[in-house]
Amino acid sequence: MTLRLTNTAKTYPDGTRALMPTELTVDTGEVVSLLGPSGCGKTTLLRIIAGLETPDPGGEIWFDDDNVTAQPVERRNVGMVFQSYALFPNMSVRANIGYGLKMQKLPKPEIEARVTEVLEMCQLEKFSHRSIAALSGGQRQRVALARAIAPRPRLLLLDEPLSALDAALREALRDELAILLHKFQITAIFVTHDQDEAMAIADRVAVMSDGSVVQSGTPEELYRNPTSAFVAGFVGNAMHLKGTSDGKSLTLTGGVLPLDRDGAGQDIFVRAEDVQIDPSGPLQGQVETVTFLGTHYRVGIKGIMPDIVTSIFPGQNAPRTGEVVKVSIKPETLMLLPKSGVGK
Ligand code: ATP
């Protein structure tokens, strides 16, 4: 199913403009993540799609050729998974998953068959007769997902479904979820404020800020070609090199960096992997922190802009804290973006 939103905005009764007029299309089988900081309107947008909120007049929500704008939530056939599982704690896993199907008054053999199918999909067969109260957080979240997909919804909406879990479990479940959604070609929207989660799960990420979708693209596109300082900073933590530019070079506290483009009127950003410790580099700073992260060291250098971070991989020598180092940045790796006042 293809979802299409046109001119969809939301002003709450107290006057809060939670969502600016928004256009969004999610293709059949596509998983789109809404990524943005707290309060940017992600949940509002999701609730409008579900039918839990009405958009301001003029906004329309289409499921394929069906204008569902005026349809109540129960007629939209949308599956929902939230951070809080909202399961029935004293009922078994099987009964929880079958609940929606029973409400739809499906014949009993059909309910049994469908529940068995999603139990397998979500690797829950061995827990099927347990009560929810006897499950771990990760298992409960899997039941919530199984319950949402059992009625074969046209669209699956997930609102921070993993944020109540601990880090290791969140990562494992995140990968399982990505596999499951793609394997079964489920059209889905996944809300998160965690960039790693968005990148891992989604085919396409819509980055939101202050009630608007500011850029939408594949994780690679957003990372390589951010169109604003906000996206550069939010996706992949690009660093803002604060200095003065004469068009040919950028003067920073730690030295003068050559430019290959005229950056007049623009903010200049760089990513940690494009910063090199290099004895012939034009910049100089002092190593402040060296953190071992398993695959690489994260090295914080002060005195350059004023602070910069680089990654040192195996095979390279990690500097010591306090050491004075030279640093180079290839001009072609710099990102020149419109001035915005954010992403500092
Ligand atoms: P979070 O990640 O913290 O859940 P979010 O991006 O999902 O945030 P929303 O919950 O959509 O953001 O909220 C967007 C804005 O709308 C916020 O300023 C919020 O305070 C406001 N808001 C949400 N619900 C209501 C409401 N019922 N009445 C008035 N304002 C609201």
pLDDT digits (tens, 9 = 90+) for 2-43: 999 999 999 999 999 999 999 999 999 999 999 999 999 999
What is the CATH architecture assignment of 3-234?
3-Layer(aba) Sandwich (3.40)
109 residue type, one letter: P
Q: Is 170 in a helix, a strand, or coil?
A: helix
Q: What angle do CA 310, 315, 319 make, to 5 degrees?
A: 45
Distance from the CA of 192 to the center of ligand 1, in angstroms? 14
Residue 289 Cα, ligand 1 centroid: separation in angstroms? 37
Indicate the burial class of 286 (C-beta count within 10 angstroms; 0-12, 13-18, 19 or more): middle
Q: In this predicted model, what pLDDT tens digit does every residue of 55-72 receive, in sequence order?
A: 999 999 999 999 999 999
Q: What integer is the mean pLDDT of 112-119? A: 94
Instruction: Decide whether any atom of ligand 1 lies within 6 Å of the 22 Cβ.
Output: no
Using CA positions, which residue lies closest to atom 14 of ligand 1? Answer: 41
The verdict on the CB of residue 9 being under 6 Å from ligand 1 is no
Q: How far is the CA of 39 from the centre of ligand 1 (A)?
A: 5
The dihedral through the CA atoms of 65, 66, 67, 73 has a sign that is: negative
Q: Give me the residues paired with residue 302 across strands.
A: 286, 307
**Amino acid (one-letter) located at 183:** K
pLDDT of residue 342: 46
Q: What is the pTM of this model?
A: 0.89
Averaged over 203-230, what is the pLDDT?
A: 96
Fold agreement (3-234, 240-338) = no
* Residue range 292-309, pLDDT digits in tens: 999 999 999 999 987 899
The letter for the amino acid at 287 is V
CB of 254 within 6 A of ligand 1: the answer is no
Pick from 188, 178, 179: nearest CA to 149: 188
155-to-3, 28, 100 alpha-carbon distances in Å:
8, 9, 15
CA of 67 to the centre of ligand 1 (A): 25
Ligand 1 mutation pick, 19, 42, 52, max ligand atoms within 8 A of CB: 42
- Ordered by start, the domain boundaries in the chain are 3-234, 240-338
Average pLDDT, the chain: 92
Indicate the CATH number of 240-338 among 3.40.50.720, 2.40.50.140, 1.10.287.3240, 1.10.1740.10. 2.40.50.140
Angle between helices 137-149 and 108-121 (to 10 degrees): 130
Assess whether the C-beta atom of 41 lies below 6 angstroms from ligand 1: yes
Torsion over CA of 230, 232, 236 and 242, rounded to 10 degrees?
-100
> Residue 137: pLDDT band by 50, 70, 90 thresholds?
confident
CA distance 31 to 187: 6
Smallest CA separation from ligand 1 atom 21, residue: 18
Rounded distance between C-alpha atoms, residue 131 and residue 162, angstroms: 21
Alpha carbon nearest to ligand 1 atom 29, residue: 12
Report how far ligand 1's centroid is from the alpha carbon of 42 (Å): 8
Q: What is the ipTM of this complex?
A: 0.97
Residue nearest to atom 3 of ligand 1 (CA): 38
Of 131, 71, 31, 209, the C-alpha closest to 61 is 71
Atom of ligand 1 nearest to the CA of 45: 11
pLDDT of residue 344: 37
Counting atoms of ligand 1 from 1, which one is nearest the CA of 36? 6
pLDDT tens per residue, range 71-100: 999 899 999 998 877 899 989 999 999 998
Overall average pLDDT of the 312-317 stretch:
85
Question: 3-class DSSP state for residue 68?
Answer: coil
Beta strands in 162-274 (DSSP E): 188-192, 204-209, 212-217, 239-241, 244-245, 249-252, 255-258, 266-270
